[in-house]
Structure 1
């Protein structure tokens, strides 16, 4: 039943639809009409309400025939007592066609409809040419507005999809570089050490066993790095959790690494935008990973603070600290935080190293 809460359905259009439909019903109730007309009218209203709940709002989502069925329903509503109030519903139907079938198909349908309406008025209802042109001009203005809004939404969705693709590509490139520098380095050294052990096994057995011991230690380090990358590849909603719950679970997932990791929330928690949640998740992930790999820390503390107009995430460890030079991971995070209007700072604190992200909220 998730399609009943379709996130792709524009909220404003949904509000307009129900308000116009309610207004149309109220107008019809105030009119004197036959029982048959009332039955047809309310049957059409019920049909439109049902179709609205299942209409797709993206191409390739299935139920494509619902869109033309809804448009046909709005035309039927105009013939069963809507007295012109169905026009906004008609334009919403055309906008939906733009979302599902594309702008060209929606424009062709709208032009065809306008020409049909222009011909039907004088032929079947005795309308004058001036009145037909006036109604056509009104429809053209409303249709232009509707199509313009639909075009803007479609373009925004295309840009959002492109941004997501670029973000994923950037994240993969960062992970590839980090994995090459960590796991790849360990495996290379292990290979060289085992080759040395093979050469020394007869002439210098003590040296051979020392190479094997070092290779074993590096294998443990490589395995720990691999496990960290498995955690890094987990999706943001951990077992259905978001916000501070996801961050808390991320911190808990680092248990068993030999470093004490804690996480707390300060202030009254409030909902954040999905992009902000993802960036905060990556900041905590980067801070914990760096603390384990470089800081030689005994404990790491993550604090998410909800302050007036902003949210602050601080990841602090009690390790040896290091210079503020940005690696690929921190540079990438800095750009992502700036894109959301925030700041990311890092450097040695009074004891250890601190990573601090501030985002508007």
Structure 2
């Protein structure tokens, strides 16, 4: 049911929608009407309320036929007693078309809508041409506003996506360097150990076998590190997902580690900035990795909470707790959280270990 709290739905437009719909209902109740027409009116209102909650606000999110049905519903309001107050609702549908289908499609729909407004009032409602043109002028102003707002949102999305791509590229480069240092160190030590075993095999066979045993352990550690780094790098592309969806995918990627991982979202989700999104991603990754590598945990629970003025991510496990919270990973993570104006809290609990990141929204 995450689509009910779609973070791509503009908050201001949502407020305007409910205000206009409320005003339309109030005007209808004050005007005389027959019972059948009023029943049709309120059935249409209920339909629009439901459609508004499920309308997509980004391409590729499915439910693409919802917007045309929504537009048809707004037109139907004009036929069952909306008294002209329904026009802004239709323009909201046009703005949604621009966000989902593109500006050209929305412009074409708006042109058709304007033509309908020119023809319908004189034919069905007896309005004069002057009155119709006056109504059309108001609609034109609202239409330009709606299209302009949609264009601004599309441009902002493009810029945010570009910033996000650059941030991800920078993070991938940093992780690649760290992976090179980590695995390179293991391989260097393994190479030296095997060289020692060759020297010792004749004179000190026990020492030679000890070197081989240590090389084997280091090989296993290097392999585990490689798998962790691959897991870290691969989800970094986020598979096109944003916000909680990316975090959910990260949590799911740890399902094969033998630890039960759950992830939940609380509160009304809203869009995250690229830096905030990436830091939250790293906090969850660090918490999951620590639980798997050090805590001997059997379960980990991640909770992302959208509060009024901040976003809180808590990663808690049921492991042994000690030996965590002082490594380079958490120190580096703390610096990144602090740089965004937040704070990172980590420490043992009654059961297990908890990592908590609080970031301003």
Provide the TM-score with structure 2 as the length reference: 0.65
Determine which of 238, 263, 266 is the counterpart of 1:240: 263
Over 3 Å counting, the alpha-carbon distance change for 1:360 and 1:98 in structure 2 is closer
Over 3 Å counting, the alpha-carbon distance change for 1:242 and 1:133 in structure 2 is closer
Can you list the C-alpha shifts for 1:185-228, whole angstroms capped at 9, x where unaligned? 31244245425644764577577456536535644653674586
* Paired residues for 1:322-333 under 5 Å: none
Shift of 1:153: 1.9
Distance 1:50 1:300 in 2: 48
Distance 1:190 1:117 in 2: 79
Determine which of 291, 294, 305 is the counterpart of 1:255: 294
Please identify the structure whose Cα radius of gyration is greater: 1
Give the match's secondary structure for 2:262: coil
Q: Which runs of 5+ in 2 are unaligned?
A: 236-246, 252-260, 267-279, 297-306, 316-321, 345-356
Matched residue, 1:19: 19
**C-alpha RMSD over aligned residues:** 4.2
Distance 1:160 1:184 in 2: 35
Matched residue, 1:266: none
Q: Residue 137 in 1 paired to residue 176 in 2?
A: no
Matched residue, 2:36: 36
Over 3 Å counting, the alpha-carbon distance change for 1:271 and 1:299 in structure 2 is farther
Distance 2:42 2:90 in 1: 17
Matched residue, 2:146: 146
Over 3 Å counting, the alpha-carbon distance change for 1:121 and 1:273 in structure 2 is same
Matched residue, 2:163: 163
Q: Do the aligned partners of 1:95 and 1:147 also contact (CA within 8 Å) in 2?
A: yes
Distance 1:271 1:14 in 2: 17
Distance 1:29 1:195 in 2: 91
Distance 1:232 1:62 in 2: 29
Shift of 1:334: 6.3
Q: Which has the higher contact order (CA 8 A, sep 6+)?
A: 2
More displaced 10-residue stretch of structure 1: 72-81 or 213-222: 213-222
Q: Do the aligned partners of 1:194 and 1:215 also contact (CA within 8 Å) in 2?
A: yes
* Paired residues for 1:186-205 under 5 Å: 186-191=186-191, 193-194=193-194, 197-198=197-198, 201-202=201-202
Distance 2:224 2:289 in 1: 16
Matched residue, 1:291: none
Matched residue, 1:72: 72
Can you list the C-alpha shifts for 1:158-180, whole angstroms capped at 9, x where unaligned? 33333333333332222221111
Shift of 1:114: 1.3
Matched residue, 1:45: 45
Matched residue, 2:88: 88
Q: Do the aligned partners of 2:337 and 2:359 also contact (CA within 8 Å) in 1?
A: no
Q: Do the aligned partners of 1:231 and 1:253 also contact (CA within 8 Å) in 2?
A: no
Can you list the C-alpha shifts for 1:275-313, whole angstroms capped at 9, x where unaligned? x85xx99xxxxxxxxxxxxxxxx9665xxxxxxxxxxxx
Shift of 1:251: 5.8
Give the match's secondary structure for 1:239: strand
Query: What is the aligned residue count?
Result: 294
Matched residue, 1:102: 102
Distance 2:229 2:28 in 1: 63
Over 3 Å counting, the alpha-carbon distance change for 1:218 and 1:46 in structure 2 is closer
